[in-house]
């Protein structure tokens, strides 16, 4: 997914999109090049990363560590205290990433417990998620729906955003309970 997003940005640079900052356009495609890193687009390329020896940096878009190829890398890296795992951005409650940030000493993956001996660093301020002001700005430009469902975020933040949607936009906003089914027409 991250590489597909990178392709979208590269296309925007190539097409000189007016939404991009001038300095990005001035640097051209090199500004968004993954080099010197290998961009592992296939499962086979990702498996190859686990077979490399020596120092390496692995970057994954699976920030919550709930699934995908990153789990194979974590299973290999976490037991070794010479490694570091950097969790960048928001780590939601109930995810392996949050468990790591909160100091978990073991993580369960693939039906087994993996010891966490690697250093874990938390860099929460690089989240790609919009903040409440950005979300409200987008909503202001949309026609009012029958109901607005807030389904992503920590409970307290979701409830605060629900209250702002109600107060500032006059819309009906709901934070559904976990597992609640809603009929959307």
Quick: pLDDT tens for 65-97. Answer: 888 888 988 998 899 999 999 888 888 888 999
Q: Are residues 69 and 120 in the same domain?
A: yes
**What CATH number does the domain containing 84 carry?**
3.40.50.10890
Q: Are residues 60 and 122 in the same domain?
A: yes
Please count the structural domains in the chain.
2
Q: Are residues 142 and 119 in the same domain?
A: no
Q: Is residue 113 part of a domain?
A: yes
SS3 state of residue 139: helix
Q: Are residues 61 and 114 in the same domain?
A: yes
Q: Is residue 147 part of a domain?
A: yes
Quick: pLDDT tens for 26-36. Answer: 776 666 666 77
pLDDT above 80 for 101: yes
Q: If 0-12 CB within 10 Å is exposed, 13-18 middle and 19+ buried, where does residue 153 land?
A: middle
pTM for this model (two decimals): 0.63
Which residues are CB-neighbours of 77 under 8 A, at least 6 positions away? Answer: 58, 83, 85, 118
* 108: containing domain: 54-126
């Amino acid at each position: 997914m991250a590489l597909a997003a990178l392709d979208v940005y590269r296309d925007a640079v190539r097409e000189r999109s007016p939404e991009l900052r001038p300095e990005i356009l001035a640097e051209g495609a090199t500004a968004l090049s993954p080099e010197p890193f290998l961009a592992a687009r296939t499962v086979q390329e990702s498996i190859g990363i686990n077979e490399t020896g020596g120092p390496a940096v692995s970057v994954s878009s699976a920030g919550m560590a709930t699934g995908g190829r990153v789990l194979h890398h974590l299973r290999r890296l976490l037991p070794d205290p010479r490694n570091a795992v950097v969790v960048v951005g928001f780590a939601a409650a109930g995810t392996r990433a949050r468990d790591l940030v909160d100091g978990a000493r073991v993580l369960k993956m693939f039906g087994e417990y993996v010891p966490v001996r690697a250093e874990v660093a938390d860099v929460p301020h690089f989240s790609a998620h919009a903040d409440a002001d950005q979300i409200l700005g987008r909503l202001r430009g949309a026609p009012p729906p029958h109901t607005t469902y807030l389904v992503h975020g920590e409970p307290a933040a979701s409830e605060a955003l629900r209250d702002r949607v109600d107060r500032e936009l006059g819309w009906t906003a709901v934070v559904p309970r976990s597992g609640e089914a809603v009929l959307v027409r």
